[in-house]
Structure 1
């Protein structure tokens, strides 16, 4: 997929980027991240760029969250919508809190759900930039984090 991706390939890519990666066994995640993102891939969140780059950045994001939740299910609610080299979609994350988040008072096993929007810029069939905006405030309320 070089140049502007067609709708079908962009949809397939996003499914792998979101659903397949989050649902993968931990041993498979590094390989998937390497297949899905460029070496200089960047995560952009709330005006702050993650200092990590490439597959390591994506893997870190997924593994950090996977360490806090069991029974993770990530689904695509709307989209993905492709326009040129950009792909956008709305998703919902659900899981059972497994503990470990500083300040969280929710009991282990508490079910949580929150949604977000992704915007991904593709380059040569892989993600080069990733903007994610999620309802983290809603998640923090469910985990009973004050502040």
Structure 2
């Protein structure tokens, strides 16, 4: 008998509807956090959360930990644009204890990025992929792959 793949699943992995509902609820809360609802952070982020990301300061994200670290990270990202809105383009895709989403963020540049040549008010749109490892309904590990090069080009960072 041949394995068949249903869209949204992978071979060899089944996703019970209760797991999908829990993952979808977590992704909704995750999106709300990124859209500025910091009060949700304690509910969905584990104090032992680890971040893996290429940071603006050249770090790898390992310095961002726990609830307060994630709130600071989200706040820093949102500081580029007070009207920044994140939405999900693809997902959630669920594989065991991992949840994956592709997102897009849109807003207008608010100023403050060192080296940026873009005028305040410049429209921004950039994309990325979040991989969340979940335990007990909370994010315990977070991998971020954002198109930072596209964002920096829009902000005209380093442009003469």
Query: So what's the TM-score if we normalise by structure 2?
Result: 0.81
Q: Which runs of 5+ in 2 are unaligned?
A: 1-15
Number of the residue aligned with 1:140: 152
- Number of residue pairs the alignment of both structures matches: 139
Number of the residue aligned with 1:90: 102
Pairwise CA RMSD: 1.7
Deviates more, 1:97-106 or 1:5-14: 5-14
Deviates more, 1:130-139 or 1:40-49: 40-49
Cα distance in 2 for residues equivalent to 1:136 and 1:94: 13
* Structural mapping, 1:20-59, within 5 Å: 20-24=32-36, 28-29=37-38, 31-46=39-54, 48-59=60-71
Query: So what's the TM-score if we normalise by structure 1?
Result: 0.88
Number of the residue aligned with 1:112: 124
Bigger Rg, structure 1 or 2 = 2
Q: C-alpha deviations, 1:31-71, integer Å up to 9, x for none?
A: 31111111111110148233131101210111001212021
Number of the residue aligned with 2:11: none
Cα distance in 1 for residues equivalent to 2:77 and 2:45: 19
By relative contact order (CA 8 Å, sep 6+), the higher-ranking structure is: 1
Q: Which runs of 5+ in 1 are unaligned?
A: none
Q: Does residue 67 of structure 1 match 2:79?
A: yes
Secondary structure at the residue paired with 2:69? helix
